[in-house]
Chain A
């Protein structure tokens, strides 16, 4: 297909407009982080850097960031293991109930968060008689994060040459050695991409978290939510958002590097 120059232009302009549209509200967030009015009234009547100072002095905020990172890392690790296992099983074997398994993986993300949330809350508390803790949040998050890893690994495995693994076996490598030396290196960027998405999903999740977090477990979204209800603290959350967006460039940049190196 040869794309005419005018078509390229039109598509380029659309892309530019969409990107502007994506960043317009973020500019509002940036401006509000300097908004002198404590209720984020628009337009800002005056500017101040108070919120930045407040944000960096707020212990609760940084504890929440740490909690969120802990939860996201733990659930991403679980999702990486479970997602890779399912993807390997489903890409290599045709078996009874194969479609049910793939549905099983997709379901936690396909069903609305509030359903997942109240279902897990009910299961943890009344069926298992557990107290809600950070562990329950991790379990819940890992459950809906499996799918992102699964999909990325699945896509990569389907493009991978199965002869390589056979060759490895013919040369006398065991299953584990083959996985470690042949399969895993090819999966690395897929695992990175899947893991990054899983991390992101977990980090920003609020609905399922609301229903599965125990007393004292405050993830960042929950902290932000509580701050909307707290007197005179609202603009602090804008500082958090700005910092998060900027610092997200680091992992995304590395993810890009990894996949660029691998594709080359």
Chain B
């Protein structure tokens, strides 16, 4: 018995310095908070925010078109170009349109399937379905995009499937981009909604129907408000991932270009980081506006 006690108390003596720190920290919640936040906030600010601000500052500089050296003289030329030239407006509208469409399609597809998984399927089949949804995530983005290239071709499977109904493949182009992007990001939309639905307790739903509410009423008054943050969180994924894409467009997009292509051509290609930064401001501004809009719903805590 004595031995056992000794064995148990040894870690305590070994941790005496930890214990000291702990008894110092216990009555000082502010210090504890500071310690918790120190590492992550330093990381995110020093690495991410600094990089982001530096990029935005670069938008005010210019580049020697021949040698590719950056001149650090302040000028609004790049911004003027981005905000006045018709090209950038057209591409911005096209990109936002595609991103919205992808988001709406993904939500419409994800809601019923997530509902079925969370509220109807039995525990076992639910687990299998989660695996089925997660597995395609590992097939590599590029491989999936190229698979869609095969599927969408005029000589491809979609054509073959749809021909009997008098329809045909949309081919490569805007529709191709929307379908492929909606496909690639679908699991990222289903999962948060599924998780959100799981958090809506069944007893709540039963209570609602015991009180005489019809299914639709329950969905409208009970499920929807509880689920909204999850839906918004999911939409942030599909919207932002589509907004910045430039690779799918090249594979199934036909002759079209999106904002990502303009940024990529200017930085990877024309070596014009200042102009690329100015163009990058557009999706950044759009995302900030979107985040500001949804901030109140608490969605940011549900991604």
Contact = CB atoms under 8 A, between A and B. Distances in A.
B142 A114 contact: no
Given A224-B143, A228-B146, A244-B138, A22 B183 contact: yes
A146 B131 contact: no
Contacts of A220: 140
Contacts of B223: 1
A118 B47 contact: no
B301 A151 contact: yes
Contacts of A8: 120
A86 B206 CA distance: 36
Nearest to B236: A110
Given A114-B246, A119-B51, A174-B23, A14 B113 contact: yes
Contact of B22 (A32, A122, A176): A176
Interface in A48-87: 81-83, 85-86
B291 interface: yes
A155 interface: yes
Given A24-B157, A85-B37, A86-B37, A118 B138 contact: no
Given A1-B205, A245-B136, A112 B147 contact: no
Interface string B181-220: 0010011000000010001000001101100010100110
Given A42-B153, A115-B55, A241 B143 contact: yes
Consensus secondary structure, chain A interface: helix
Given A26-B136, A104-B45, A248-B138, A3 B36 contact: no
Contact of A2 (B33, B44, B139, B209): B209
Contacts of A146: 40, 43-44
Given A18-B109, A115-B55, A204-B140, A12 B151 contact: no
A206 B251 CA distance: 15
Contacts of A86: 36-37, 40-41
Nearest to B137: A200
A4 B135 CA distance: 31
Contact of B26 (A25, A119, A143, A169): A169
A218 interface: no
A240 B150 contact: no
Contact of A118 (B139, B195, B276, B291): B276
B295 interface: yes
A85 B130 contact: no
Contacts of B153: 42
A15 interface: yes
Given A1-B208, A3-B119, A174-B19, A81 B39 contact: yes
A10 B31 CA distance: 55
B257 interface: no
A82 B26 contact: no
A82 B291 CA distance: 22
Contact of B157 (A28, A105, A177, A244): A28
Contact of B280 (A28, A114, A200): A114
B146 A40 contact: yes
A207 to B, nearest CB: 7
A22 B133 contact: yes
B78 interface: no
B140 A221 contact: yes
Contacts of A225: 142
| B18, B22, B49, B291 — most chain A CB neighbours (10 Å) | B22
B170 interface: no
A217 interface: no
A204 B138 contact: yes
A81 B237 CA distance: 23
A101 B117 CA distance: 33
Given A95-B33, A110-B240, A123 B54 contact: yes
B93 interface: no
Contact of A151 (B32, B54, B206, B302): B302
B120 A228 contact: no
B115 A11 contact: yes
A256 interface: yes
A86 B151 CA distance: 43
Interface of B: 15, 18-19, 21-23, 25-26, 29, 32-33, 36-37, 39-41, 43-45, 47-52, 54-55, 58, 109, 112-113, 115-117, 119-120, 123, 127, 129-144, 146-148, 150-151, 153, 155-157, 183, 186-187, 195, 199, 205-206, 208-209, 213, 215, 218-219, 222-223, 233, 236-237, 240-241, 243-247, 259-260, 263-264, 267, 273, 276-277, 280, 283-284, 287, 291, 295, 300-303
Given A107-B48, A154-B301, 18 more contacts: A1-B208, A19-B113, A22-B187, A110-B240, A112-B259, A119-B52, A120-B51, A123-B55, A155-B199, A155-B301, A174-B22, A176-B18, A177-B15, A224-B140, A224-B143, A228-B142, A245-B138, A249-B131
7 contacts: A32-B147, A88-B36, A112-B241, A113-B244, A176-B15, A204-B137, A204-B140
